[in-house]
Amino acid sequence: MSANNTLTKRRNGVGWRDLIGPPGASYAEAERNLRALAFGEPGADPSPGPADGHGAWADGLQIPKIVSKCAHLVSGHEMRNSFPLDSALDGLTYPQGTIEAVLPGVHSDVGGGYRQGEQGKASVLPIVPLRDMLNRAIAAGVPMYSLSQLPTSSQREDFALVGPAAKRYEEMLPLWRTYMGTIPSGLPLGKAVLAHMRQYWRYRVSAAVLRTRGKKTTEQKSIQGNEDGMFKKDRARLKSEADQQERSYRLAAAEVDAAEQAAAAAKQSPGFSNQEPFWRAKAQEASSRRDKAYDSWRRTQARLDTAADDSDLLENMQTYDKWLLEDAELIYKWHKEDPNKRMRPHYAAIVSAYEEVVVNGKVLAETSDLYKFFSTYVHDSLAGFATDNTRTTDPRVLYIGGDQKEKYAAVQTEKQLEVA
């Protein structure tokens, strides 16, 4: 089945195929596993595997009864098995006063955000849930500033009310509204995720086709330009600063050790005992400098460790494009061999996108609203990380209380598929 969280770096050409069978073995077992997932037994859990991203830390995440109002905004396009969704559902129902909404994007597109230009994309998609959360909190009686009352320029910038972000946000809104118009309202959680993923697969397969034609897409050009023009230089600057600050810290730490040793030696030497206070003071002074130097170093190192780095993203995207098209081709072939065999709706959406884009040649144009929305605003959770062994066609696992999984990827009849 899906290799899930096994820590194998797929960017080095090692992935779930390599985890099955001895070296040099055929992909027959891997294909059987994909077939079992796509045409599995009714009610089978989506994307089963030895590690499901739901350890003991995920116990007891249900909304407490004391909470009178809760709004849970979740990402509709997260792909990684290590990022399953813990729904606000408690079994089949929501706690009183709780609502849950599925929004476009991967994990940080809904909460936290990315740096502007990271993965060649704009950073404003998270502004939609950010503003929504603020408005809901105010409506619920939480004493917070409204958008029009935000007192500082930095807060107004955070909410994309002023500055370059405001312009980018206004440019995004028409595409966001057009996209959301393709998602039926009032769907339960599983069907809502499927609706978002149907649109994603149309873009994703189109992007894979365009990117394998040899001519760089606008998205690829942006990625390369930002990496060469901004990100690489920023990392080099931070690395230089961190190295200098580390040297300052280690020098101060050595001075502390030397002063403490001198104080200890003076204390034990009758002829020099009067020097002990001097060395103790020196040690204290050096300790203060050491602590400040350590804090500066670790702060800069943290910025370096989390700095935007798209240096291998294009290569990762190429690998994932190849794997996606391979999987989609297989599932499509099996479906055509036995079109009456029932298929999970998640995989039916992949087949539909593959047939539209590859078989019928209706590749989404880069200028189309759907393509522009995804390529400009929705980040790539798999290629951006590339150490998670999620299969490119895996459905996301949805937990609805404890380790209970939503069976949204269960096999359905052809009639049910029309509304799934």
- pLDDT digits over 262-320, tens only? 999 999 988 888 899 999 999 999 999 999 999 999 999 999 999 999 999 999 999 99
Beta-bridge mates of residue 412: 343
Compute CA distances 259 → 76, 133, 230, 245, 374, whole Å: 59, 54, 44, 21, 60
Specify whether the CB–CB gap between 409 and 98 falls below 8 A.
no
Maximum CA extent, the chain:
98
* Residue 148 amino acid letter: S
> Per the structure block, which two tokens stand in for 235?
């990392």
Domain ranges of the chain: 16-215+359-416
In whole angstroms, what is the distance from residue 391 CA to residue 388 CA? Answer: 9
Residue 299: which of 246, 254, 255 has the closest Cα?
246
d(CA 327, CA 332): 9
What pLDDT does residue 111 have? 87
Integer angstrom CA distances of residue 374 from 28, 178, 349, 392: 34, 12, 17, 17
pLDDT at 50: 53
pLDDT band for position 414 (50/70/90)?
A: very low
pLDDT at 322 over 60: yes
The span from the first CA to the last CA of the chain, in angstroms, equals 24
Angle between helices 218-226 and 369-377 (to 10 degrees): 20
The predicted pLDDT at position 11 comes to: 29
Q: Which residues contact 201 (CB under 8 A, 6 or more apart)?
A: 349, 350, 352, 353
pLDDT for res 7: 37
Averaged pLDDT score across all residues of the chain: 88
Q: Measured on CA atoms in the order 195, 197, 201, 202, is the torsion positive or negative?
A: positive
Number of H-type helices and E-type strands within the chain: 13, 4
* Burial tier of 336 (Cβ tally within 10 Å: 0-12, 13-18, 19+): exposed
CA dihedral in degrees (314, 316, 319, 325; nearest 10)? -80
Phi/psi-derived region of residue 168, left when phi > 0, alpha when psi is between -120 and 50, beta in every other case: alpha
Number of neighbouring beta carbons within 10 Å of residue 297: 20
pLDDT per residue as tens digits for the range 160-190: 999 999 999 999 999 999 999 999 999 999 9
In angstroms, the CA 236 to CA 242 distance is 10
Asked whether the beta carbons of 279 and 266 are under 8 A apart, the reply is yes
Both tokens of residue 232? Answer: 């690489």
Torsion region of 370: left, alpha or beta (phi above 0 gives left; psi -120 to 50 gives alpha): alpha
CB 74 within 8 A of CB 106: no
Least confident of 81-85, 100-104, 328-332: 81-85
Instruction: Find, among 35, 29, 42, the residue nearest to 420 by Cα.
Output: 42
Going by their DSSP bridges, the two strands 98-103 and 398-399 should be labelled as: unpaired
Please tell me the predicted confidence (pLDDT) of residue 291. Answer: 98
Q: What is the pLDDT of residue 247?
A: 98
pLDDT tens track for 392-408: 998 888 888 888 888 77
Tokens of 277: 């206070």
Q: What is the pLDDT of residue 30?
A: 72
Least confident of 42-46, 83-87, 338-342, 350-354: 42-46
For the entire predicted model, the pTM comes to 0.86
